[in-house]
Structure 1
Amino acid sequence: MSLSQDIPLSHSEESVSRWSKHDTSWMLSLFGTAVGAGILFLPINIGVGGFWSLVIMALMAGPMTFLAHRGLARFVLSSSKPDADFTDVVEEHFGASAGRLISLLYFLSIFPILLIYGVGLTNTVDSFIVNQLGMEAPSRVILSGVLVFAMIAIMMAGEKVMLRAFEVIVYPLAAILAGLSFYLIPNWQMPDLSTLPEWGSFSVTLWLAVPVTVFAFSHAAAISSFANAQRRHYGREAGQKSEQILKRTSVMLISFVLFFVFSCVLSLSPTQLLEAKAQNVSVLSYLANVHNSPFIVALGPLIAFIAISSSFLGHFMGARESLNGMLQKQFSLAPAKLDKLGIVFMFLAIWFAAVMNPSILGMMEALSGPVIAMILFIMPMLAVYKVESLKCYRGRFSTYFILLVGLLAVSAIVFSLF
């Protein structure tokens, strides 16, 4: 069962030119999916490469984000089946065997991130209870179970409830990011722009910054459900409307996140950025120590909780859809029953990970990175030259640009692993 089935078909005639509440809800959902807890490490991970690499990555972030997600949405919408999800589309275009392999890799690229968010959510709330509220640490088994169940219950309640939850979560997140960015302006230290970096080391720094930038703005996990929702809502105009929503999502992401990144980076010297990188702490934790600010200390857990919650919902959406697609290919049970079985499996797995609190989650995230890059950047562009309905996009600059960025991201991730 897909979340998009909650949308009534009667809306398919709605005007594409008019921006509706439905469009705003999905824009916020995609924004929330992209902005996870990783945003608290992003200023350090990008800023440590120097100011010029930060500027170049900032200029590339918008086109990379919009064009890549538009390509994936077009790929999902290219199916001849009106209700096809990601699993159906890859099988239709690449054959049964290759389709199942890609679908499995897609699920395995999203699912470890869900486990990471399950652990992160539990640790954030536990730390808040102990350090901010001054209470004893609750039972980890009960706390993690309640938190994971609450997140999944929102998704089980249907698309309208899920979209409403994103609205409740994302507005405060955007407001806090903007507020904190303005708060740091008096501490800005303008870098020395006269000194240009040496090209050899600078090019390697840029190369390794590509995957960091790609995943900081990635909302690929929600694109299949998003594209299907637009197809049911707008019918034949789904592609045009999807592009419009994705464009506004990208503008919102770039505006809020890059302002936050620049504000944090300009508030710290290059030496401090390297020190924060070595300590492996979030930028808010480091800023709180440097500026001795109780305001920043208080905001840290709140931003982490909101960001993890919103990104958890978006990634659960993608994992649920891809798991359902794979199960339906293997078993002849009713879709509703398979959906419930899949949700029970994911709940137990995320709960178990949250209780065990393993230290291998960073490696799991690193291994899922290349697959996400291949599915978001490379596969949709290869499909342009394989799928007849996508042939109108052949030879375009945007197609080659996204293919190049995908190859750079995958190679940089593989290089950093070894």
Structure 2
Amino acid sequence: MANVSGGSLPLSEGSVQRVPFTSYDAGWVVLCIGMAIGSGVVFMPLQMGVKGFWVSIAALAIAYPAVHYLSNLYIKSLSESGQCKDYTGIITEYLGPNWGIALSVVYFITLTKAMLVYSTTITHDSSSYLQVFNVTHASLAATYWFPLCVIAVMVAIGARGERLLFKVSGPLIVTKLSIVVFLGLSMIPYWSLKNVSFVTSSGALSFVRDVLVSLPFAVFSIVYIQILNPMNVAFRKLESNPAIATYRALRASKVAYFILIASVLFFAFSFLFATSAADAKYAVSQNISALALSARVIPGDTVKILATILNIVAILTAFLGAYLGFHDAMKGMVANILDRFMTRGPRFEKVLPFAIAAASTVILTCWVWANISSMALLQWTSPTFGLVSCIVPSYLVWRVPALKKFRSASVVFVAFVGIMLMSTPLFKLLEH
């Protein structure tokens, strides 16, 4: 693809250079979108249906600006580092090794949460679709063998399919985004104000509580912070001028952000107007996603087929993408512990990936058997995301002299949202 547009970047005082938007930039935009369209977009509409219109509006009004600010803050703080490396390494550079170790543990917990959510969603939604299309009469998710088989296959693909995943990720992500928009359009004939609850909880405290427990879903519906450091590193390696690299990363993030805002909001509100609050509560109780629910309650084959394809593609790519990071994080932690007691040889290095895959399969399958709510997990574990993505970058800006120039009201807002995300479990306890 040829250069299609450009932007202006001050490289030095009194000089401006035209920075073209290339196919490489577009590729990173697509990857940002693909990272965002995952568990959030398939669960947020359910939370909106359960909590109602005004709570949803308030949560979105807080979350979406916060995602924009924290993405910019993340990129800018990364770009000021003297080296191109992972975020944990940058934290170590800024604050010392103890912070680096602590953050790596929290980051691993965050990845583990994602794997648990995706494993449950894949198993329960695939079982739901088998019922919708009359392949089975009962839910296979309640059996012991079905979750084991599904998780084992997914882990096997994730452990061996990295190159294939990178090759097909672009078309898969474009497919995801296209179906999100088209599915929202397909629901328009079923819109009805009777499906939407405009009644809020009695009392200001109840309203605030409902907004805070809905906040993680709003954030996760468009957040793609996991890919910002790889994108920043890629541009830093490509461009000799760090200022240009930072500009291109910020621009790609901005384009992805506005595309996600338009498409995800349209889909979420289309779903809200097309399904009832009772349907949303049923989906939550059955641990299935908004997409699986739409295939159940909206007549016609179009929505069923589109919802099925989107759910499979969205969760599949999200699971495989998360597994790569999960596998590397687990491998690093295991190696770090074992290196204190033994010397690893070539044979050990060959066996370790298989051992991690086997352990991952057992852990994830046991989690699915426990049948713990994916939506509840997103809420209970939101503090790790709030800490890693909001609190730490904001703290860096106020602690590190080199980042002093980024201090602004938006940083305070990001830190405030991080505190709200960390308080979500407390308000979840007050929900009943």
Give 1:42 shift.
1.3
Indicate the percent of aligned positions where both proteins have the same amino acid. Answer: 22
Q: Whose relative contact order is higher, 1 or 2, with alpha carbons under 8 Å and at least 6 apart?
A: 1
In structure 2, what residue type is equivalent to 1:110?
Answer: L
TM (normalized to structure 1)? 0.81
Tell me the equivalent position of 1:97: 98
**Aligned equivalents of 1:49, 1:379: Cα separation in 2:** 30
How many Å separate the matches in 2 of 1:99 and 1:339?
Answer: 25
Counterpart position of 2:10 = none
- Opposite residue 122 of structure 2, the aligned amino acid is L
1:78 to 73, 77, 80: 80
Distance 1:21 1:152, change over 3 A: farther
Task: Out of 323-332 and 221-230, give the one that drifted further.
Answer: 323-332
Which of 155, 171, 174 aligns to 1:148? It is 155
C-alpha RMSD of the superposition:
3.6
Contact map agreement 1:70 1:242 (CA 8 A) in 2? no
Q: Deviations over 1:110-144 (max 9, x none)?
A: 12322442454355556656764848989765554
| 1:187 equivalent in structure 2 | 190
Counterpart amino acid of residue 80 in structure 1: G
Structure 1 counterpart of 2:118: 117
- Residue 262 of structure 1 aligns with an amino acid whose one-letter code is F
Q: Is the 8 A contact 1:174 1:256 kept in 2?
A: yes
Q: How many residues align?
A: 398
Aligned to 1:64: 66
* Aligned amino acid, residue 51 of structure 1: F
For residue 296 of structure 1, what is the aligned residue in structure 2? 303
How far apart are 1:317 and its partner, in Å?
Answer: 4.4
**Correspondence for 1:401 among 410, 413, 417:** 413
Between the aligned partners of 2:260 and 2:225, the Cα distance in structure 1 is 14
Partner residue in 2 for 1:5: none
Against the structure 1 CA distance between its residues 318 and 69, is the aligned structure 2 distance closer, same or farther, given a 3 Å change threshold?
farther
Residues 303-326 of structure 1: per-residue CA shift (max 9 Å, x gap): 221111221243234435545665
Correspondence list, 1:131-146, <5 A: 132=133, 134=135, 143-146=150-153
Q: Distance in 1 between matches of 2:429 and 2:371?
A: 14
Q: What residue in structure 1 maps to residue 3 of structure 2?
A: none
Query: What is the letter of the counterpart of residue 267 of structure 2?
Result: F
Q: How does 1:345-360 map to 2 (within 5 A)?
A: 345-356=355-366, 357-359=368-370
Residue 381 (structure 1) shift: 0.5
Distance apart, 1:18 and its partner CA: 1.4
Could you state the TM-score of these two structures normalised by the residue count of structure 2?
A: 0.79
Query: What is the distance in 1 between the residues matched to 2:31 and 2:306?
Result: 22
Match of 1:88 in 2: 89
**Structure 1 residue identity aligned to 2:155:** V
Would you say the 8 A contact 1:221–1:317 is kept in 2?
Answer: no
Aligned to 2:426: 414
Worse overlay, 209-218 or 165-174? 209-218
Q: Spell out, residue by residue over 1:337-357, the C-alpha distance to the aligned partner (whole angstroms, 9 max, x if none).
A: 999777545422332245443
Distance 2:177 2:168 in 1: 14
Q: Which residues in structure 2 correspond to 1:7-406 (within 5 Å)?
A: 17-82=19-84, 84-122=85-123, 124-125=125-126, 132=133, 134=135, 143-155=150-162, 157=163, 162-190=165-193, 200=204, 201-235=206-240, 236=242, 237-270=244-277, 272-274=279-281, 276-277=283-284, 280-320=287-327, 322-323=329-330, 331=339, 343-356=353-366, 357-359=368-370, 362=374, 365-394=378-407, 396-406=408-418
Give 1:398 deviation, angstroms. Answer: 1.1
SS at match of 2:239: helix
Q: Which amino acid aligns with 2:238?
A: H
Whole-Å separation in 2 of the counterparts to 1:39 and 1:229: 27
SS in 2 for 1:41: helix
Q: CA deviation at 1:397?
A: 1.7
CA drift of 1:75 comes to 3.0
Give, in whole Å, the separation in 1 of the partners of 2:229 and 2:350.
20
**AA at the equivalent of 2:102:** L
The letter for the 1-side match of 2:423 is S
Residue pair 1:31, 1:253 contacting (<8 A) in 2 also = yes
Mind listing any 5+ residue stretches in structure 2 that lack a counterpart? 1-16
Q: Is the Cα–Cα contact under 8 Å of residues 190 and 266 in structure 1 kept in the other structure?
A: yes
Local SS of the residue matching 1:80: coil
2:6 aligned residue: none
Matched letter for residue 382 of structure 1: Y
Q: Partners in 2 of 1:278 and 1:125 — Cα distance?
A: 16
Change (3 A) 1:353 1:56: same
SS of 1:18's partner is strand
Once the two structures are superposed, residues 45-69 of structure 1 have per-residue CA deviations (whole angstroms, 9 ceiling, x without a partner) of 0233222232333444432222112
Q: Contact conserved, 1:374 with 1:406, CA < 8 A, in 2?
A: yes
**Mean CA deviation greater in 346-355 or 168-177:** 346-355
Which string of whole-angstrom CA distances, capped at 9 and with x for unpartnered residues, describes residues 270-306 of structure 1?
5554555555543344444443334333333322211
What is the CA deviation profile of residues 57-102 of structure 1, one whole-angstrom value per residue up to 9, with x for unaligned ones? 34444322221122223333332223x2122112222222222011
Question: What are the Cα deviations for residues 8-28 of structure 1, in whole angstroms up to 9, with x where unaligned?
Answer: xxxxxxx98212222222222
| Paired AA for residue 415 in structure 1 | F
Change (3 A) 1:58 1:85: same
Cα distance change, pair 139–291 in 1 and its aligned pair in 2 (3 A): closer
Per the alignment, do residues 373 and 67 of structure 1 end up closer, same or farther by CA in structure 2, a change over 3 Å counting? same
Which stretch of the first structure deviates more once superposed, 20-29 or 52-61? Answer: 52-61
Q: Deviations over 1:354-384 (max 9, x none)?
A: 5443326546655532111111111100100
